Amino acid sequence: MSNANTVEFDLVIHNGKLVIPPDIISSSIGVKDGKIAAIGLNLDRLPAKKTINAGGNYVLPGVVDPECHLAVHRSLKDDFISETKAALAGGVTTWGLMLTSPTISREFKEIKQPEDSVPFSLVIPILQEVGDEHSMVDYFLTPLVATDAQVEEIPRLAEEFGATSFKYYLHLKRGQETLGQWEPQRKIGIYGFDDGTVYIGMEHVGRLGPPCIVCIHPENWEIIRVVQARLIRQGRKDNAAWDERSPHFVEAMHVRQYAYLAKVTNCPLYIVHTTTRETVDEIIRARNEGVQVISETGFHYLALDHNVYKINVPLRDRETMEKLWVALASGNVDCVGSDHVNHGVPREKMEVKGDVWKTISGFSSRVEALLPIMLSEGVNKGRISLSRCVEVCSENPAKAFGLYPKKGVLRVGSDADLVLVDLKKKQQMTRSMLFTSAGWSVFEGWEMTGWPYMVFLRGEVALEWNEKEQKHNVVGKPRGRYIPRKLGHATYPAES
């Protein structure tokens, strides 16, 4: 591993089981200047400013959550303040913010107009200023591009701002039957684009090379509108109808369509929220045809069925959920994210029981359950190994978005973003422990087995479990920083 010599560490964690896929090793970890300086036995015998006994528990790299949407329903500043605390509670130390340019603002505007879709080069400095002042976690930006002008700006965004991933909301594409019908268009400020816009962006990404990547939300609204109208005419109002109005094939067909375009443009493709077996089949097909495709699913698609609540993309049925676990374990699905959105209001103001069409789509505080659900429903129920859990929650997202090995791994030279986990601890999720400003979670009342009880950001404690009060305590002031990726590097340069 590493020769510690006689250095005085800032922190030593000993008597822990370090999860370094594919291995789990009993060892100590030494931290200096925010980075992992040594991994080896008996580091606790060496000088250190602080020493922590892990008590035989597991030490994981901090979760790299690739998908989060701040500032949709409240100000960017307010969401940074509350929701990054929620992220820590879910084991997240690096957050991928997928944002439109109108949501990156010092002043909140509920309805965004087409003219609010300004170039990202004008607003990224605002994101960095607000985030570096208020974020509890490190963060990076995936611009949610919506116009030809924004995608033509991709080379500049990559070179000057380190933004190397770009996302398309394919369900909000231009069309006479769709323009203005989707509420998210007005909430986040996307008023239609077409395949030409997608093509321009893929061309740029293909030319720029690693770590640039295009992300897509695959869901064909033009077909969904037809199916939804039929369900409404049938009188369906149950939650499962929300799943049925977005049939599996409308997700899978977008993967096939845009994987082909990615092949034409030599562009790596990232599938955001893979939720169906049919989608997985198309991902496998594209990979066999030589397309570089990385697949993400949300942890909620692995734990909640379509009768529970209304979100977009829909929760699916139990059979599909189990197939997703198999795909995740086998390597056909690579990453897990939260797709966190904070509505800032209680559940009672969102849900209209018995009428899925009147219920507001989305549920808050997803991120606070991310790692607990993956440990409880995945690892402790034998669906995935702990090493695989670390791969899909930390290592693979870091690799996909050009952050590895700075993030996502326990390795000498990497940032000391660490999570201590008691894999046997049983803990119920309660409303009183939540940090999200919405104040509720769909996972309330769940008893989970496997719990993150201490989180470190760059070697300093950021969160610790308070057993007496049955909640996490945030430690210290906001220390999160904007992370620009390094154009031209498949991996994040070790010296950075």
Per-residue pLDDT tens digits for 369-390: 999 999 999 999 999 999 999 9
Hey, how many other C-beta atoms are within 10 angstroms of the C-beta on 248? 16
> How far apart are the C-alpha atoms of 418 and 457, rounded to whole Å?
7
Strands 63-69 and 58-61: unpaired
Hey, how many other C-beta atoms are within 10 angstroms of the C-beta on 216? 24
| 95: its two tokens | 């957050």
| 332: its two tokens | 């056909």
**Can you tell me the mean pLDDT for 410-431?**
98
pLDDT the model gives residue 3: 46
pLDDT the model gives residue 172: 77
User: Would you say residue 332 has pLDDT above 80?
Assistant: yes
Percentage of residues in the chain having pLDDT higher than 90: 86
**Can you tell me the mean pLDDT for 325-331?**
98
Q: How confident is the model at residue 496 (pLDDT cuts 50, 70, 90)?
A: very low
pLDDT the model gives residue 364: 76
pLDDT tens digits, one per residue of 317-326: 999 999 999 9
The H or E element containing residue 456 is strand 447-457
**Can you tell me the mean pLDDT for 56-81?**
96
- Domain residue limits, the chain: 64-400
User: Would you say residue 494 has pLDDT above 60?
Assistant: no
User: Would you say residue 2 has pLDDT above 80?
Assistant: no
pLDDT tens digits, one per residue of 253-271: 999 999 999 999 999 999 9
pLDDT the model gives residue 5: 53
- Location of structure tokens 């010296």: 495
User: Would you say residue 246 has pLDDT above 60?
Assistant: yes
Q: How confident is the model at residue 117 (pLDDT cuts 50, 70, 90)?
A: confident
User: Would you say residue 179 has pLDDT above 50?
Assistant: no
pLDDT the model gives residue 182: 53
pLDDT the model gives residue 321: 98
**Can you tell me the mean pLDDT for 78-85?**
98
- Please state the pTM of the whole predicted model: 0.94
pLDDT the model gives residue 220: 92
- DSSP string of 199-242, one letter each residue: HHHHHHHHHH-TT-EEEEE---HHHHHHHHHHHHHTT--STHHH
> How far apart are the C-alpha atoms of 441 and 64, rounded to whole Å?
21
**Can you tell me the mean pLDDT for 13-33?**
97
Report the interhelical angle of 120-134 vs 154-161 (nearest 10°). 30
> How far apart are the C-alpha atoms of 3 and 73, rounded to whole Å?
50
Look up the CATH number of domain 64-400: 3.20.20.140
- Gap between the terminal Cα atoms of the chain: 21
HEC secondary structure over 347-416? HHHCCCCCCCCCCCCCCCCCHHHHHHHHHHHHHCCCCCCHHHHHHHHHHHHHHHCCCCCCCCCCCCCCEC
Q: How confident is the model at residue 435 (pLDDT cuts 50, 70, 90)?
A: very high
| 347: its two tokens | 């559940």
Q: How confident is the model at residue 336 (pLDDT cuts 50, 70, 90)?
A: very high
Interior CA angle at 270 toward 113 and 320, to 5°? 100
pLDDT the model gives residue 492: 81
User: Would you say residue 1 has pLDDT above 50?
Assistant: no
Q: How confident is the model at residue 176 (pLDDT cuts 50, 70, 90)?
A: very low
Strands 447-457 and 418-428: antiparallel
Q: How confident is the model at residue 116 (pLDDT cuts 50, 70, 90)?
A: confident
**Can you tell me the mean pLDDT for 477-494?**
89
The H or E element containing residue 123 is helix 120-134
- Location of structure tokens 């606790």: 44
Among 50-54, 426-430, 460-464, 492-496, name the one with the lowest average pLDDT: 492-496
**Can you tell me the mean pLDDT for 451-474?**
98
pLDDT tens digits, one per residue of 127-144: 999 999 999 999 999 999
Among 89-103, 195-209, 352-366, name the one with the lowest average pLDDT: 352-366
User: Would you say residue 180 has pLDDT above 90?
Assistant: no
